[in-house]
Structure 1
Amino acid sequence: MNPAFDTYIQSLAGRDVTVIGAGVSNSPLIRMLCSAGARVTVRDRNPALPREEWDILGVVLRLGEDYLDHVGGDVVFRTPGMRPDHPALESARAGGSRVTSEMEEFFALCPCPIFGVTGSDGKTTTTSLIADMLADGGRTVHMGGNIGTPLLTRAGEMSPLDACAVELSSFQLMDLTRSPHVAVITNLSPNHLDWHRDMDEYTAAKRRLLDFQSADDFAVLNGDNPATAALRGRGQTKYFGGHTLHDGVIDGLLPISDIRLPGWYNVENVMAAMTAVRGTVSDEAILETVRNFVGVEHRNQWVATVGGVHYYNNSIGSSPARTVATLHAHVGRVLLIAGGRDKKVPFDEMARLLPDHVKVLLLIGEAASQIEAAVRSVPCCPPIVRCEGLAEAVTQAHKLAAQGDTVLLSPACTAFDQYRNFEERGRHFVDLVGALHRPDGKD
């Protein structure tokens, strides 16, 4: 079905290939390389990595603190969380290795149009909307990238008539040398400054989504976000935003009242997806998707209403800007659970919003003191409760909330101080809220 992919697989036989990182997202890649006949070395910091499957496949493992010593081979796959200019990768290049990534290889081999999505917030929702709109329009759709399963291992089953909806993080974009047919940038605000050197580098990484487009390609940009609107692509540019809304109807097609997702930021996500696919699928397909789309797990997800108190899981809210956007989506009294590991992004803007939106602030994690300092510098700041962890925060919120209140987990920080990822944190929150229903809970 994809001759280019078949040729690529054949070219791997007998090659020395190194994969850095043996996490869930890289496991299918490792299996594919082994089945192609490559001699595979996997390097991972975790010394206790389960070995049985890799031993059966003949994978050479380099584990522990020195896992990046003497990286080499014909091809080296960089894990997204590793900077492209890491000394181990620079040394590998100097030794003749071709350093690449799963996403770089996929873009080179994908036979169908790619709808690529990046931005500081809204990536997953927008990507999911695009995928659903394309599917409702009759296309066979493959979704992945920063969400879902790796796409490279599925490229062999793709045809030119299909479509791909791909979410891309700044980590993945740092050294990407290809652009999608349709490049969507939802917005830009300070994020991941614990990884990027500064905001300029972060913005440059996001801009790479546009840098390799041709005159036949499209950039879809947020006209209401100055940092995004200032970007320029090599192809045609379409803007979404408030200027497309007239008399409650978006772009002459979609009544804003048909959108089931809360908050203006979700209206922008819908606008971005509509702009990306309009002309590719029918207007009827777009309307069908929007009217049926109720959101993505961990993204302002309603969990339960207990004793008249509404519980929402926004564990994806790992930056202050995302928490600000989510607070704007809630009307009424909010008990906000925030904290975790910060991204070296200031909390000042979020702090200024809290007096008007938050009844009680419950703080957890490594960044609790930083958030508290920012909030206490604001006049009329809400009461602050310091908690040992998420379990105590949910218990305290349950005691303090009154009927009609909302308890919102939107941490404004990453989960890595206590959890493997934001999904694990979100699931823990959902489980804790679920326990409130049981006989040993208050309700």
Structure 2
Amino acid sequence: MKIAILGYGIEGESVYKYFSRLHPDAEFTVYDNNSQTKRPLPDGVKFVGGVSDFEGVDADIAIKTPAIAPWNVQVTGETTSVTREFLKKCPAPVIGVTGSKGKGTTSSLIEAILRASGVKTWLVGNIGKPALDILSEISPDDVVVYEMSSFQLWDSDVSPHVAVVLGIEPEHLDVHRDIDDYVGAKANITKYQSAEDLLVYKSGNEYVGQIVAESHAEKQTYPNDESAHVKDSGFYYGEQFLCSVEELKIPGVHNQENACAAIDAAWNWVQDGAVIARGLADFEGLPHRLKYVRTVGDVAYYDDSIATTPGSVVAALNAFDAPKVVIIGGSSKGANYVELASALAAKKDSVRTAIIIGVEAPKIEQALKDVGFADFVNLGSEVSMQEIVSVAQGNANSGDIVILSPACASFDMFKDYQDRGNQFIAAVQNL
């Protein structure tokens, strides 16, 4: 048997381990965009590098990893993907979570609530372990929480039992063909659900509405007075008081909404307010997601490097009442900056200064000028993170908050968003 692995990063390694156990005598070939593999290949595995498309792959089975676009794949035999293989074979209920931002936080909150109740829970996908690595360990009484990006959902024809769709805005348009392709990929999380399954979704979002229209599942919006919502500084499910919002340690109304989505998703397993409170309190937040760094000279610094869309920056700005200095900019993901500029203009009384960086800086500057927001400093791309943080410090007053919340990708100046966030943390520690 010939087995092809399309893409060989962390997921590709996981694919090999999984399928080599199933087919120990198979002939494996790795096809990758890179001319040389960045990860060591097992003995006997062939490597074909520098592949720009994956047409004419000669294999009985080809397994596509999330980084490979489905329209680039033509195989002589069967084609499958990591997500499809996992969802078809997993013996336990799966809660899938997608959205433009908040997937990792919401997935982690669901996991924390379930674990607090004593349910054995597995967190897989972008934030957890590669899904196929732990498939053989899962039992029917467990619950799997699967953080699902558009790339993981791209060509899936299987949906999880519970689908959570958070807010969606244009993203990854440097990779997806267009916004319809991006939303269409997200829609696969619920497209193949049945009437016995559950869809939890954010209402009032144009793109989410398109996804909901394709779903056959039971539908439930969040926050919702009949299910999880916030009232009088407490989390409620319908009329049932669950716990104080102070149990949630991560800031912002958007994170309270993420918690509501998590409560709804876990409700079939956990309905005890004390257990939910313990789960929420156990979650300390994820790195680079509006994470407090330190306070210097009565100015608090927050790392929100994961914020690569304009909407996520707006959520970060809304999380604090104090005056803010915000660091924005980077490389393009195909978004425009009208929403971001309008939000800054609407909050000009609380946004003291916008520090603009990266190759998108000229576009962001023009968008700010178009709406009459003049309190910005354009540092461009030829600047270190220490210099950026020093400029932010110089523009902040006592009691202010400095937030790295870029609204852009990081690849013009940094290795990735983690590198950007880590450099920000180091620069703040050096103040």
2:330 aligned counterpart, secondary structure = coil
Residue 186 of structure 2 is aligned with which of 206, 218, 232? 206
1:353 aligned counterpart, secondary structure = helix
Preserved contact between residue 92 and residue 142 of structure 2 (Cα < 8 Å):
yes
Preserved contact between residue 224 and residue 242 of structure 1 (Cα < 8 Å):
no
1:317 aligned counterpart, secondary structure = coil
Deviations 1:386-414 (A, max 9, x none): 14243321232233323222221111011
Letter in structure 1 aligned against 2:276: I
Instruction: Tell me if 1:45 matches 2:33.
Output: yes
Aligned pairs for 1:61-140 (under 5 A) are 61-64=47-50, 68=54, 70-86=56-72, 89-90=73-74, 92=75, 96-140=76-120
Letter in structure 1 aligned against 2:251: P
2:221 aligned counterpart, secondary structure = strand
Aligned pairs for 1:224-235 (under 5 A) are 224-229=204-209, 231-232=212-213, 233-235=215-217
Provide the residue aligned with 2:267 in structure 1: 278
Instruction: Tell me if 1:298 matches 2:288.
Output: yes
Aligned-residue offset at 1:68: 4.7
- In structure 2, the CA distance between the partners of 1:131 and 1:337, relative to structure 1 (3 Å rule), is same
* CA distance in structure 1 between the aligned counterparts of 2:186 and 2:419, rounded to whole angstroms: 27
Aligned pairs for 1:135-154 (under 5 A) are 135-154=115-134
Letter in structure 1 aligned against 2:413: Q
Letter in structure 1 aligned against 2:244: P
Supply the RMSD in Å over aligned alpha carbons: 2.1
Q: TM-score scaled to structure 1, two decimals? A: 0.87
Instruction: Tell me if 1:424 matches 2:424.
Output: no
Aligned-residue offset at 1:291: 2.6
Deviations 1:199-251 (A, max 9, x none): 33322222221111122111111234354356142121122115444434332
Aligned-residue offset at 1:70: 4.6
* CA distance in structure 1 between the aligned counterparts of 2:245 and 2:204, rounded to whole angstroms: 17
Deviations 1:277-324 (A, max 9, x none): 113124232121113323111100111112222111111101111111
* CA distance in structure 2 between the aligned counterparts of 1:220 and 1:229, rounded to whole angstroms: 12
Residue 338 of structure 1 is aligned with which of 325, 328, 336? 328
- In structure 2, the CA distance between the partners of 1:177 and 1:224, relative to structure 1 (3 Å rule), is same
Instruction: Count residues in correspondence.
Output: 414
More strand by proportion, 1 or 2? Answer: 2
Provide the residue aligned with 2:146 in structure 1: 166
2:276 aligned counterpart, secondary structure = helix
* CA distance in structure 2 between the aligned counterparts of 1:417 and 1:18, rounded to whole angstroms: 33
- In structure 2, the CA distance between the partners of 1:83 and 1:67, relative to structure 1 (3 Å rule), is closer
- In structure 2, the CA distance between the partners of 1:277 and 1:248, relative to structure 1 (3 Å rule), is same
* CA distance in structure 1 between the aligned counterparts of 2:282 and 2:114, rounded to whole angstroms: 14
2:159 aligned counterpart, secondary structure = coil
- In structure 2, the CA distance between the partners of 1:207 and 1:305, relative to structure 1 (3 Å rule), is same
Provide the residue aligned with 1:31 in structure 2: 17
Provide the residue aligned with 1:11 in structure 2: none
Contiguous gaps of at least 5 residues in structure 2: none
Provide the residue aligned with 2:302 in structure 1: 312
* CA distance in structure 1 between the aligned counterparts of 2:126 and 2:166, rounded to whole angstroms: 15
Preserved contact between residue 365 and residue 418 of structure 1 (Cα < 8 Å):
yes
* CA distance in structure 2 between the aligned counterparts of 1:411 and 1:204, rounded to whole angstroms: 26
Aligned-residue offset at 1:168: 0.6
Aligned-residue offset at 1:98: 1.6
Letter in structure 2 aligned against 1:98: E
Provide the residue aligned with 2:232 in structure 1: 247
User: Among the aligned pairs, what percent are the same residue?
Assistant: 35
Provide the residue aligned with 1:354 in structure 2: 344
Deviations 1:370-427 (A, max 9, x none): 1111011112431223142433212322333232222211110112223332222212
1:331 aligned counterpart, secondary structure = coil
Bigger shift: residues 387-396 or 171-180: 387-396
* CA distance in structure 2 between the aligned counterparts of 1:416 and 1:97, rounded to whole angstroms: 36
Deviations 1:160-205 (A, max 9, x none): 0111000111122121111111111112222222223333332222
* CA distance in structure 2 between the aligned counterparts of 1:28 and 1:227, rounded to whole angstroms: 32
